[in-house]
Amino acid sequence: MNIDIHKEGTTLTAIPEGRIDTLTAPEFEQQMVSELGDMNDLIIDFSKVSYVSSAGLRALLALAQTMEDRNGTIKAVNVSDFLRKAFALTGFLEILNVD
């Protein structure tokens, strides 16, 4: 999985590409945690994500918990209608602060 990372101040923006599924979710989560360092805010840009499986949702939940533990924020941007519906059905619209 390719993930573009941009850091500005205390904000990390991640732009994953492709699917966040059983095969890629562990790598995605591990890379995000290693890149976070002392960042306070995490923005995940879903413009290049075509699919998120239950394993991907678990990775996103773990990242949301990590950000909550450090009193930071997590936000999802550029979410497709398809992913927005999946996030709505699973309650992730609130967890990820979908914009």
Query: What's the angle, vertex CA 55, arms to CA 69 and CA 72, rounded to 5?
Result: 20
> What is the DSSP-derived secondary structure letter of residue 24?
T
Q: What is the mean pLDDT of the chain?
A: 95
CB-based contacts of 53, cutoff 8 Å, min separation 6: 19, 20, 21, 22, 25
Q: What percent of the chain shows pLDDT beyond 90?
A: 91
Domain residue extents for the chain:
2-12+32-95
Predicted local confidence at residue 1, as pLDDT:
84
**CATH superfamily, region 2-12+32-95:** STAS domain (3.30.750.24)
The pTM of this model reads 0.94
